[in-house]
Amino acid sequence: SVAVLDFGGQYAHLIARRVRELNFYSVLVPYDVTLDEFLQASPLAVIFSGGPASIYVEGSPKPRREVFEYIINNRMPLLGICYGHQLIASMLGGRVARKDKAEYGLSVLRVLTGDPIFHGTPASQRVWMSHRDAVVWLPEELEVIASTDYSEVAAFRHKTLPVYGVQFHPEVRHTEYGRVILDNFLRRVAGLKPNWFVEDVAAEVISDLRRRLSGKALVAVSGGVDSLTAAVMVQRAIGSDNIYVVHVNTGLLRESESDRTLKTLEKLGFKNVFYVDASRLFLERLRGVTDPEEKRRIIAKTFAEVFAEKALELNRKVGGFKYLVQGTIYPDRVESGATGKATARIKSHHNVVMEAIPGLEIVEPLSEFYKDEVRKIARSLGIPDEIVTQHPFPGPGLAVRIVGEVTEEKLRILRKATRIVEEEFRKSGFYERVWQAFPALLSIRTVGVKGDERSYEYALALRVVESEDAMTASFAKLPWEFLEHVAERLVNEVEGVNRVLYDITHKPPATIEFE
């Protein structure tokens, strides 16, 4: 694998994803991994990620000496990015200092040598920078291979080892040739052959499940791509007779979402599908509740209860359940951050089921994959495109897009508005170009005029963001004409709405969802 040591940068997962996009297997490991754990990842090349710390500050994250020495003594290919770049320079005897000004955003990189890491890229190229500390002096064995106006040591290489550092972020899309530079490091410096293709790996996971599992499995399918893909993988492994699918309608789903999910399950050949309509129960429990955290707690608890009750009933009637399938994906399992440790987390609603049916084993067919990889797998398993390309939809559903109390009327309005927004985004092609696009219902009414009459109705906020991983996001700067058209449809077609606002805040400080 390509081992990405995580020094706490928000970009560590992004580096691992990019490496996989280039068809090399990568894993994220904590920066202070022991040599044993490090070797268990069978690393063929190593990348040190960025991070928020300053390397000269006492207690800042450093790899264990035994790991660093192993890498150097075995001439392993090593690339440091940002903090990782400074760390390698400093561990090999260079000097890192804080500059009086930060270099943030796009910079022009001047490539000074014909090094293989810059193969196929021009002498002058745009790179994304985000640093204040900088490498200010290099020892004899290291040499500068690229500079910017601001950073003399924007990239260095070791004179005799396959060791490199880049101050800029090749994993970020704004870096024009970032992808090429990473690919050059892996192919040309490390000499690796691209051999990791997600559909093949998924097929291996399925054969492995086929060998390992015998007995019945239970799965809750929401309508999202993760749980459905996990269910199909297990179905392929143990057969449609042995997998029992439960779909809970919380009443907080989008228009026709339950219908679509049930039809899709049928088309995919699932035989044991159980639909539970719990929308009344959810609505009752949410009545009068306005606190966002309280709303989330109630929804999670109610979901767990409803699912566990169905599971118990099935276990009484059919029996023989041995597995509980969970759609956990790689980033859920590996917490990023310098203190993050790999932990398998059981979702809270599954804990309740585990208590109800003792002896169940958790099965997570997607625990090695990123979201974009899950989408590829889903497509290869015949899951309809409409579901595969779907934007993320939060677990608590429309409830976090209604500010304040959830009522039947507000749900009706938001469901219809959501359908219109999705239609317009799909039709215009903007759907694929943004991370998420949805209306939220602000529980305020404002005055308007409809026809000749004064109206006093709800305001909707349109939230459209661009993002790589939902950790940060920027609002999408869409053409006025398009927004105008969407707003017109909303006020004309959705009864109870007379005003549409466009949300122009980034995350941070705002979140993507409203609650």
Residues of the shown chain interacting with ligand XMP in the complex, contacts defined by CB under 6 A: 392, 394-396, 400, 436, 470, 507, 511-513
- Which residue's CB is nearer to ligand XMP, number 334 or number 400? 400
The CA–CA distances, whole Å, from 265 to 95, 262, 384 equal 59, 5, 10
Phi-psi region of 59 (alpha: psi -120 to 50; beta: other; left: phi over 0): left
Shortest spacing between CB 214 and ligand XMP, in angstroms? 31
3-class DSSP assignment, residue 166 = strand
CA angle (178 as vertex; 28, 44 as ends), nearest 5: 40
Shortest spacing between CB 503 and ligand XMP, in angstroms? 12
- Which residue's CB is nearer to ligand XMP, number 180 or number 411? 411
CA atoms within 13 A on the CB side of 31: 23
- Which residue's CB is nearer to ligand XMP, number 154 or number 512? 512
CA atoms within 13 A on the CB side of 125: 23
Shortest spacing between CB 70 and ligand XMP, in angstroms? 38
The CA–CA distances, whole Å, from 293 to 106, 286, 303, 396 equal 39, 12, 15, 11
Phi-psi region of 257 (alpha: psi -120 to 50; beta: other; left: phi over 0): alpha
Q: Is the peptide bond before 509 cis (omega within 30 degrees of 0)?
A: yes
- Which residue's CB is nearer to ligand XMP, number 17 or number 216? 17
- Which residue's CB is nearer to ligand XMP, number 271 or number 506? 506
Shortest spacing between CB 342 and ligand XMP, in angstroms? 20
DSSP 2-68: EEEEE-S-TTHHHHHHHHHHTT--EEEEETT--HHHHHHT--SEEEE---SS-TTSTT-----HHHH
Shortest spacing between CB 438 and ligand XMP, in angstroms? 8
Shortest spacing between CB 256 and ligand XMP, in angstroms? 20
- Which residue's CB is nearer to ligand XMP, number 331 or number 394? 394
Q: Is the peptide bond before 384 cis (omega within 30 degrees of 0)?
A: no
Pair 515, 442: CB distance under 8 Å: no
Catalytic residues: 82, 169, 171
